[in-house]
């Protein structure tokens, strides 16, 4: 079993839809949870960063961490074509572990 | 936010030659930097962890004699792909760990070996 599981998609939604991206993990020692966005041919950029459980909101983006279920989510409201990218979850105890990334396409 | 740069952004080299990629943290000191490789449509794969002033720690399956890593200062780590072959063609990304433990990625270097 991989330490971090993420459905690679691809996921295609119409513009304006609410997008839900998820990861599950097995290592209960993870304390830091991150979402990265990677556009094609670019390096990943940090999108959201959460320590321990709870919710964090930044504009159209909301990150949720449920440590009891070992489940993290990223919600994108009012999705835009410019949100089309690959989204990687990552989590850390001592070392970083990444999900496989979910490729998202938002169609106009 | 913190900035990590990589140079070059794109390099083409002939099979058998060596290529050096630089990773710099521009506005913080990074005692630890990481090197990743990403093949098309796949996730990042950690190659090695680079600690300033000491030898890099390589992930299983990564040849340390082929991928030479030097972390000579708190703001610079280099990855040298020695005797490159076409199967080494990939997207190489570094990241740097800030003093507050956030991890910031460089923009990546696309290596094509012909």
Per run of 10 residues, the mean pLDDT along chain B (length 114 residues) is 86 96 94 88 82 89 94 93 95 87 84 96
What residues of B are in contact with residue A34 (Cβ under 8 Å)?
A: 103
pLDDT digit string (tens) for B18-33? 999 999 999 999 989 9
Instruction: For A72, list phi and psi in degrees, rounded to 5.
Output: -125, 150
Instruction: For B87, list phi and psi in degrees, rounded to 5.
Output: -70, -10
**Closest CA in chain B for residue A51:** B102
Contacts of B11 (CB under 8 A, 6+ apart): B19, B21, B109, B110, B111, B112
What residues of B are in contact with residue A92 (Cβ under 8 Å)?
A: 101, 103
Contacts of B83 (CB under 8 A, 6+ apart): B16, B17, B18, B66
End-to-end, the C-alpha distance of chain B in Å comes to: 36
Q: What gap in Å lies between CA A20 and CA A87, rounded to an integer?
A: 11
Q: Quickly count helices (H) and strands (E) in chain A.
A: 0, 11
Contacts of B63 (CB under 8 A, 6+ apart): none
Q: Is B34 on the interface with A (CB under 8 A)?
A: yes
Mutate to test the interface with A, among B33, B104, B105, B111 (most CBs of A within 10 A): B105
DSSP-assigned letter for residue A78: S
Tell me the pLDDT band of A1, cut-offs 50, 70 and 90.
low
């Amino acid at each position: 079993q991989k330490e971090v599981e993420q459905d690679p998609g691809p996921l295609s939604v119409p513009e304006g839809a609410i997008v839900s991206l998820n990861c599950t993990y097995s290592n209960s020692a993870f304390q830091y949870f991150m979402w990265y966005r990677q556009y094609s041919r670019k390096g990943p950029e940090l999108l959201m960063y959460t320590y321990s459980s709870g919710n964090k909101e930044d504009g159209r983006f909301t990150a949720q961490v449920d440590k009891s279920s070992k489940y993290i989510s990223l919600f994108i409201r009012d999705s835009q074509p410019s949100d089309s990218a690959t989204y990687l979850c990552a989590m850390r105890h001592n070392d970083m572990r990444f999900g496989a990334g979910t490729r998202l396409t938002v169609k106009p | 936010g913190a900035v990590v740069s990589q140079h070059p952004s794109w390099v083409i080299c002939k099979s058998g030659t060596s290529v050096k990629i630089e990773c710099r943290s521009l506005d913080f000191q990074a005692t630890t930097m990481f090197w990743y490789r990403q093949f098309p449509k796949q996730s990042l794969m950690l190659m090695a962890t680079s600690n300033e002033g000491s030898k890099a720690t390589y992930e299983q399956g990564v040849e340390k004699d082929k991928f030479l890593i030097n972390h000579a200062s708190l703001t610079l780590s280099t990855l040298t792909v020695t005797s490159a072959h076409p199967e080494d063609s990939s997207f190489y990304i570094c990241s740097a760990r800030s003093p507050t433990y956030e991890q910031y990625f460089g923009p990546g270097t696309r290596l094509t070996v012909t």
